[in-house]
Structure 1
């Protein structure tokens, strides 16, 4: 065999080098356009797709190193949760294109890359965001807790413009299950009356059949009905218990055809209905220098006072251990006080525990912070039937506390930041009018890269009649973090230096490579009724040339998406107004963003707000009498919307003394609907909102959503972002 000529080897080597250079250049160019290359190949199954057509596939990786240039050609925002039987709204914004109109296709695909649902919209204009809604996703196609992906493609009549790689979304709860029992405790041989209500998040009836079964405590199925037709989303049933059923907790299970399951418990037990109720009236707290006054009230269910005696014990909830010496064993100290008194003719008695007595029994310590438990046992005089009740209270060193609440977990340099100062009693109620209201505040600003390492501001604020004030700060642009220290002198002598009533907070700066930020604040205070206009103020750290886009997310769904322009070119302020709708109740989140023209950086902020108007069917119930004798007829009148299903429940009040929780309440419905919220709480006000509202005179504003960068604000808002613009994500710091 003859040897190949040397020229052939040289030609082959040159071709090999050229091919590798071309591959390297393509990879390098792809990195500059879209950041990191997505290493997971996505098999796109599209019938009739021309593989020879010109296409540009852009990576959606967000947390990338800062490239020199971002394309900034598209921005897609969508909820991270998909729910069957509900619409899925995606905001598509073609930021830059050589074509004025586009055809956009949005798909939901499963793990096998098969399309579950899709929507195609034409005439999507360049530079104008449009909401594309995939209507009513099929229930049988989506499995709870499975991962699916969102696929978006924009094209013109002549050429495919871009394909956006999918982002994963999760299927979550899709229905609201509510239940109603006549009572929580059922006697053997009695009838169990139950009602199951299945509705959508809009509180409209679920029309598909459901299955129902009832299990006893041994997990034996006593009732098994595989198919139940609901009437306006409601099923009423009953079960007659045997004379010797298994005692304990029974469960009613309801399942939809998609596999979503709900259960309700009730207890089967032999019992005697109580005739009266015992209540303990005590302060929620006392200080280490206070005595304790307690009132015991025993009333029959029809309102009369109980004749009898009460034994009350005051004790520590847990034993207190003290070591008297290293040579002796720890000694158990659980000194309690026990008293027995007779109830007066109206079923009440008053008990006084002197401060000295509490200290002698070691129920009060000098530093405070302990808890006391009261147990009251009432014995009826005629029948000797016994009922008891208990209550707890906390002992503090002082009767007031000073709190500082953040506007958000981070501040945006160059924009105002508010801090709430609240002086409250230890149970969060407003302070007494006789107390002084001056608070000393010191703010420390810290810097990393300047010669000035620290700046300090000192002021004294006068709190309002409710004991609150809002201090507005304006951190410098180069400020990396700040700390606020507050002190209060209860004596009124303004001796703040050594005051033991003290509070502080620490806030870090949000991050942006261009130091550009956007901030949105609610102009409305408190809860807004559906149908009213909501107003929000937007501020930017620099004049904006682009428009603002805002979205309202409620119950995991984008319910509103609009775009507004700044009033005049070069302005930094704008105003957003829209009408509150029932779909936004009970709470919603406003997300506002803009794109800088210089580096295609996305700046964003979000804020929560609350809307009243969840229940659109106003139901009223009246009766012709407030009090009736046995055997006397009573007439009830119900008013509701036409064709409404009306359910009524009449029950002996004494049953509720055993255990409540059998009935529906407004709070239970709101609590269930809040499970649809896909947001992460970036502020601390929302979780304890109801508690704050109970402190009648103390008002707290709703703050913005926490996030140290643009990417985390979107994430905390329950949204996924697909873009080739610059969505900044601060690298995670490593602590060693």
Structure 2
């Protein structure tokens, strides 16, 4: 509480604080009215009133005024009891923003107090967004996209879209939807690309009166990423070695590592066939059922899991 006429701003709240003296030495009735300093146009909001230390009934009138009109938000007749209440009201609709007077008047049989403060009423326009299910398409694929308009509380709002257009890279209109209403939902639409669809950037345009929203996606003939595999092994390995190191490296064509599982098999040629035969080779399919037969290769395989760090 403060002296008559004190204005307190905390967390965007405009508070009216005052108390009246009626010639006595002791304090008289006190009152507090709190209202947001910025109000949303057309929204439901509330202000709170507290009247304390009453010695007689009083009347509290709260009015919202502009240069063109005024609206009485509350007329409260109190008894000789403390009052704490919150009143809901509809904020006047404005085009952009407007400053209005928030007037509080407290009247009793022996005193009168009046305070006026400025509040800002601002119109928050809904925002419209467009989104496709992926950024790149192939010819003959179906383009799924959605249009949504959100209010100031991020809820789907009802919006009439005058025209929704789809243009190819040459600016030709290849699809359109007329007078479509969202009905407080997310609008789901789709379009089939022909097998001869031009490669390039396609544009979706959503028109609502004088405002427009744009979104683009790409059509191109792409292929899934390919990768190469390289194997590094020693040129020679001694028959006395219990192990040797082999490196298997796999990278995409754009030089990024490939996650996955690799199986490496090593075989020693059968006895009597060392001349002109490689000492070590990688086997894709390995059969160890005859590994103890000197007339068949001796093989060993291991599997490793490669994870991206």
Q: Please, what TM-score do these two structures have when normalized by structure 2?
A: 0.49
Q: Normalising to structure 1: TM-score of the pair?
A: 0.24
Higher helix share: 1
The structure with more strand, counted as a fraction of residues: 2
Looking at both structures, which has the greater relative contact order when contacts are Cα pairs under 8 Å and sequence separation is at least 6?
Answer: 1
Greater Rg by CA: 2
